[in-house]
Structure 1
């Protein structure tokens, strides 16, 4: 399967919104602990107010080994010229440790379709590169992609794709489209709750914004979920497919099904954390279950 040239993200990483809400000191201490635990990749979105590239730069400055992935930097939030300049600096300052993940987000230009917008953005990035090429380490970019045409664009114009809130069947479909050489990173939500009623209620709270989003609803339809399964907070089948819940052994087993289906990397998002709480206890638990032991973490 594929990978990102010159970069080892490991098979499993962390994806979280939590760092967009926390003070800088907490972020620094937390990501340093994650690095010590052996996590090789840390993914964060751009949604709640933190600017994507300065956020990545700060986390890189706090660490020595962990890879930081923008998942994603919104293309409608900054011009391609400025995205290129920021990512170029990060590639030069932290060789082989930053991945620029791009996705359609921010204030959409009226009448612009996501595929056309992403293609034009990549054209602008490539144009900027011809004027100001990377001096040392190359920039590495991936695209948020779900449908076949965006996956093809990720295969042809980037190192690969990131998917978000997909099922295992989609991972297999994405791998087929991407081919064997492009990188495929898959985000998946997990919930450490074994009671079915409580687990599904919490999972529905997490999924509610996505079940109301036209782009996500279209994605769910393409994956074979009926209107009835999407409506009313999501049927059990949909909820169980998009939030892996249960005891640690069950969750870990389900996460590995994405790898078996063709994912190079699975970014795990822990949900169901109480307001003001931290996912750190679960990240420690997952490190023990998913990461190589300290004696063989170089493998």
Structure 2
């Protein structure tokens, strides 16, 4: 069964997500919840699905180095069987800086997808973290689509050209709901500089998009403004919609806040600016 995450979703680290927050996200009209760095047993995904009625839950991502394909396939069968059409398995290779085992990344992805095939995970039930052309093409050929992270609408446009029509393109986009430019940039810079701007996969992709080594080394204003949309809720909503205009089917916002108490108000304000009808998945 194909999974339809709607046009707008929320990406959050797994420690941030609770069943209560999932219910609130669904109530506000978001179409999907993406679990950052999801564990392979998928118990968190199951708890979020159990607390909601319609919203899609996706992993963004299960890391191939730390999660065996056989374990993930068994977990997928359990969750998708209980919640048909509402769970999307996002998997990815991660980064060489994160594991001493990192080697032959492309061959490893292919082998992992082969094992998911053998374990019964359907093509339409999984997406691949993909940035460069080669892995985007693999996402097109072996999965339901791609889930790029730390990208821009320009990347979305280029990714759509590679994926072609009919494949899901669901980029993540960091946002700060704050009209104070200096304060918003400071928060965005803090979140992207460490660890992302130190990771070679992201650096290569950003250089492909036209940023310079100096932009990356200094976390320049131009780079931060591109990677972290900031402003009032209307400006942030427009920045998310730019991904849809560039060819995305779905965009998931990672809302950055200084204090946890700011999170639900920001979530609510953004939903209003996106004109999400409360209680209806969009």
TM-score by length of 2: 0.92
Please state how far the C-alpha of 1:178 moved relative to its aligned partner: 0.2
In 1: Cα distance, 2:182 partner to 2:262 partner: 23
State the match for 1:277 in structure 2: 261
State the match for 1:78 in structure 2: 67
In 1: Cα distance, 2:16 partner to 2:9 partner: 20
State the match for 2:210 in structure 1: 224
Please state how far the C-alpha of 1:272 moved relative to its aligned partner: 2.8
Look at both structures and tell me which one has the larger radius of gyration over its CA atoms. Answer: 1
Trace 1:1-299 onto structure 2 (pairs within 5 A). 6-17=2-13, 19-21=14-16, 27-46=18-37, 53-105=42-94, 108=99, 110=101, 112-129=103-120, 140-208=125-193, 209-232=195-218, 234-274=219-259, 276-294=260-278, 297=280
Please state how far the C-alpha of 1:278 moved relative to its aligned partner: 4.9
In 2: Cα distance, 1:109 partner to 1:153 partner: 24
In 2: Cα distance, 1:229 partner to 1:112 partner: 28
TM-score by length of 1: 0.87
In 2: Cα distance, 1:11 partner to 1:52 partner: 27
Q: Which runs of 5+ in 1 are unaligned?
A: none
| 1:194-235 C-alpha deviation (Å, 9 max, x unpaired) | 222222111110111111112211121111111111112x11
| 1:24-55 C-alpha deviation (Å, 9 max, x unpaired) | xxx122211222222221011117xx556111
Q: Which runs of 5+ in 2 are unaligned?
A: none
In 2: Cα distance, 1:262 partner to 1:252 partner: 16
Structure 2 residue matching 1:277: 3-state secondary structure: helix
Q: Is the 8 A contact 1:145 1:151 kept in 2?
A: yes
Aligned positions, number: 279
In 1: Cα distance, 2:101 partner to 2:19 partner: 39
In 2: Cα distance, 1:157 partner to 1:108 partner: 25
Structure 2 residue matching 1:267: 3-state secondary structure: strand
| 1:238-289 C-alpha deviation (Å, 9 max, x unpaired) | 1110000111111111111110000000100111332x43511111112212
